[in-house]
Amino acid sequence: MIICKQPRIGGVVPCHNDSTFLYTDPPSAIGAWIALEECTPQNGCLSFLPGSHRLSRTSTRFVRAPNGGTTFVDVPGVEPNTENWDEMEGWKEAPCPPGTLVLIHGSVLHKSPPNPSDKSRLIYTFHMIEGGKGVKYDERNWLQPTKEMPFPALF
What is the number of structural domains in the chain? 1
* Residue 63 included in any domain: yes
Q: CA 154 to CA 142: how far, in whole Å?
A: 21
Q: How far apart are the first and last CA of the chain?
A: 21
Decide if 147 is inside a domain.
Answer: no
Q: Is residue 155 part of a domain?
A: no
pLDDT of residue 56: 64
| pLDDT for res 84 | 76
Cis amide prior to 95 (ω within 30 degrees) = no
**pTM over the 0.75 mark:** yes
Domain enclosing residue 127, as ranges = 2-137
Task: Give a yes or no: residue 153 inside a domain.
Answer: no
The answer as to whether 148 is a domain residue is no
Per the CB < 8 A criterion, the answer to whether 53 and 139 are in contact is no
129 closest CA partner among 14, 50, 49, 21: 21
Average pLDDT per block of 10 residues along the chain, 155 residues long = 92 91 90 98 96 80 90 83 78 98 96 96 95 88 90 83
CATH of the domain at 107: 2.60.120.620
